[in-house]
Homo-oligomer: A and B are copies of this chain.
Amino acid sequence: MRIAELSQRTGVPIPTIKFYLREHLLPPGELTSPNQAQYGETHVHRLRLVRALVEVGGLSISATREVLTRMRAATNTLHSIGKAQFAIADPVEPHEDEAWHDAVRRVDELVAERGWQVRDSNPARASLAEALAYLTRLGHGDLFPLLRHYASAAELLAVSEVDVVLSRENVDSMSETLVTMSVLGDAMMSALRMMAQESDATRRFEEP
C-alpha cells in the first residue's frame, strides 16, 4: 500500500508517518520509484505500536526508539526480554535530599518485606523512590500506608500478567507483549483508578 493508505488504515497523519520514518521508528518502505514507496502489514503493526508508546504511554521519540531497539535485540533470557520494558521508565535525575534517601530506604524495605526478587538495575526502583520522595516533600506522608495496598495489588496483577507473557510462542512476541502490557496496563490502571475513585466518592457523598 502507499503512504496514503497506511495513513488511512492507522489514522496517523502522513506528515507524522514521514517524521517517524526520518526518526527510524518505522522501517523504510520498498521503493517502487524514486518518489514512491510501498508499505506492508508490518508497517501497519509497527505504526500502531509506536502510536501506543507515544500517544498512550507518553514516551519521548528517543525512549520509543530505545524500546524498539531493545525489543529487536531480545534473546531467550528473562533479563534480555525485560530490558525493553526497562527502557519505558523515564530515568530521573533525583534531587538527593533527605526525602529521597528516606524513600530509597523505604523501597528497599518494601522489596525485602515482600520477598521480591528485583534487580538493582530495575529502573522502577528509582521511579518508585522518586514518587515516595514527593509524598514527603509535599507533606503527604500520611499517604505512605497506601503503598502496601498498591504493592499487594501489583503482586496479584503480576501473576496474571506474567501468565500472558509466558503464553506467547516466541521471544519477539513475549517482548512485545511485555512492553504493550506495561504501557497500556499503566494507562488502564490510571483510568480505572480515576473512575473507581469518582464512583466511591459519589456513593459516599450521596449517603445520608
Chain A positions near chain B (C-beta within 8 angstroms): 10-12, 45, 48-49, 51-52, 55-56, 58, 78, 82, 85, 89-90, 92, 95-97, 111, 114, 116-119, 122, 124-125, 127-128, 130-132, 134-135, 137-140, 142-143, 145-147, 149-151, 153-162, 164-167, 176-178, 180-182, 184-205
A56 to chain B, nearest CB (A): 6
Interchain CB contact under 8 A, A196 and B128: no
Interchain CB contact under 8 A, A10 and B154: no
Interchain CB contact under 8 A, A111 and B195: yes
Interchain CB contact under 8 A, B11 and A192: no
Closest to A58 in B: B58
- Complex CA–CA separation, A111 to B118 (angstroms): 35
Q: In the complex, what residues of B have CB within 8 A of residue A196's CB?
A: 116, 151, 154-155, 157-158
Q: A124: which of B49, B56, B157, B190 is its contact (CB, 8 Å)? A: B190
Interchain CB contact under 8 A, B157 and A187: no
A208 to chain B, nearest CB (A): 15
Q: A131-B56, A195-B122 are in contact. Are A157 and B153 (CB under 8 A)?
A: yes
Interchain CB contact under 8 A, B155 and A92: no
Q: In the complex, what residues of B have CB within 8 A of residue A11's CB?
A: 95-97
Q: A146-B161, A164-B142, A164-B146 are in contact. Are A193 and B201 (CB under 8 A)?
A: no
Closest to A155 in B: B196
A68 to chain B, nearest CB (A): 14
A207 to chain B, nearest CB (A): 12
Q: A150: which of B48, B82, B157 is its contact (CB, 8 Å)? A: B157
Q: A177-B140, A186-B189, A189-B186 are in contact. Are A200 and B132 (CB under 8 A)?
A: no
Known: A82-B198, A128-B195, A155-B196. 16 other contacts (CB 8 A): A45-B138, A56-B130, A85-B194, A117-B202, A118-B195, A124-B198, A125-B191, A128-B187, A128-B188, A130-B187, A131-B187, A140-B181, A146-B157, A147-B188, A162-B201, A186-B190
